[in-house]
Structure 1
Amino acid sequence: MAENLLKEPILEKEQILKLIPQKPPFVMVDSLYEYTAVTGKMGFSIPTDNLLVENGIFSEPGVIEHMAQSMSLHRGYQGFISGLDKPKTGFIGAIKTVEVLELPEAGSQLTTYVEILHEIMKVTLVTARTEDENGNIIATSEMKTVTVD
C-alpha cells in the first residue's frame, strides 16, 4: 500500500475550492483525508440546501457527481503538489458501472475512496466506493474521466 502523502487532512472550504475546477453552488466534496499517487479518501457533508438534495435526500445524480468530484479532487491535489497554479478541467467521459445502494439524507457525511486503475494520455479509468457515516457502502462506480486542459 502506498504511503499517504498528506501531512494532515485538508478540511478548509477555501483550500478545497483551490483544488477543484467546480465552483459553488455545484461543489460535492469538502475534505481530502488521504492522498497517494493512485488512491484517495475524500469526504462530503451534504448541506440541506444542496442543489441535488430533493425532499431531504441526496439524489442519485448527487451521489454520482460526488464520486466524480472526488476524482477531481484527487487530480487537483496531484496538480497542486506538482506546481500547477489552478486545477485542470475534466469531465466524466463514460460510466462503465454505477450502483447506488442507498440514498443518503441531507446533513449526513459521505466518505469516498477512489483508485486509479489505468491512465492513458488524458483518459483515466477510476473506481470509487462511497460509504455513509457508519461505514456502510452506499455506492460504487467505475468511470472514465477525461482531462481537457
Structure 2
Amino acid sequence: MAENLLHHPITEVGDLIPQKEPFVFVDTLYEYTSLTGVTGFTIPAESCLLDDGFLSESGLIEHMAQSMSLHRGYQGSLSGNQKPKTGFIGVIKTVEILGLPKVGERLKTYVEILHEIMNVTSVSARTENEKGEVIAISEMKTVTVE
C-alpha cells in the first residue's frame, strides 16, 4: 500500500478542481497516493442539490465524482499544472445510495483508481457519514478533457 503524501489536510481546494460555487461538493483532501485519495465535504445549507434538508442522490453522486476530480487536481498540481483539467462522468457502472446526509453533516469519501486508459479513468468511491457508516458506493468512468 502506498504511503499518504500529505502531511496535513488541504482545505483550500478551489484551485485544484474546475468546479466553481455553487456547484462545489468537496472541501478537503485528507489523504493522497497516486491511486487513492480521501476527501471531505461538509454539506452547506445553501447547497444547490438539497432535497428537504438532505443532500440529494445526485448530490452524493456529484460529490463522489468531484472527489476523483480533487484527486486528479492535486496530482496535476504536483506535476506543476496551474489549472485543473476539466472532466465529466462518462459512465456510472454501479451506484448504491444507502442513506442521505443532512445539512451540516461531514462526509468522508475514499476513492481508488481501478484502471486508466488515455483520458478515461475507472474509479470506485465509498462515502461515509460522520459516524463512519457507509452511505454510498459507486464505480464510474470519468473522462478528462485536455
TM-score of the alignment, normalized to the shorter chain, above 0.5:
yes
How far 1:72 sits from its partner (Å)? 0.2
Say which of 114, 117, 122 aligns to 1:117: 114
Other-structure match for 1:84: 81
d(CA) in 1 for partners of 2:38, 2:77:
17
Say which of 122, 143, 146 aligns to 1:146: 143
What does 1:1-149 correspond to in 2, within 5 Å?
Answer: 1-11=1-11, 15-149=12-146
1:98-126: CA deviation from partner (whole Å, max 9, x where unpaired): 00000111110000000000000000000
How far 1:73 sits from its partner (Å)? 0.1
List structure 1 runs of 4+ shifted beyond 3 angstroms.
none
Runs of 5+ consecutive residues of structure 1 not aligned to the other structure: none
Q: Compute the TM-score of the two structures, normalised by the length of structure 1.
A: 0.97
How far 1:86 sits from its partner (Å)? 0.5
d(CA) in 2 for partners of 1:140, 1:98:
6
RMSD between aligned residues: 0.5
Percentage of matched positions with identical amino acids: 68
Paired residue secondary structure (1:9) = coil
Runs of 5+ consecutive residues of structure 2 not aligned to the other structure: none
- Which has the larger share of helix? 1
Paired residue secondary structure (1:16) = coil
How far 1:148 sits from its partner (Å)? 0.5
Letter in 1 for 2:17: I
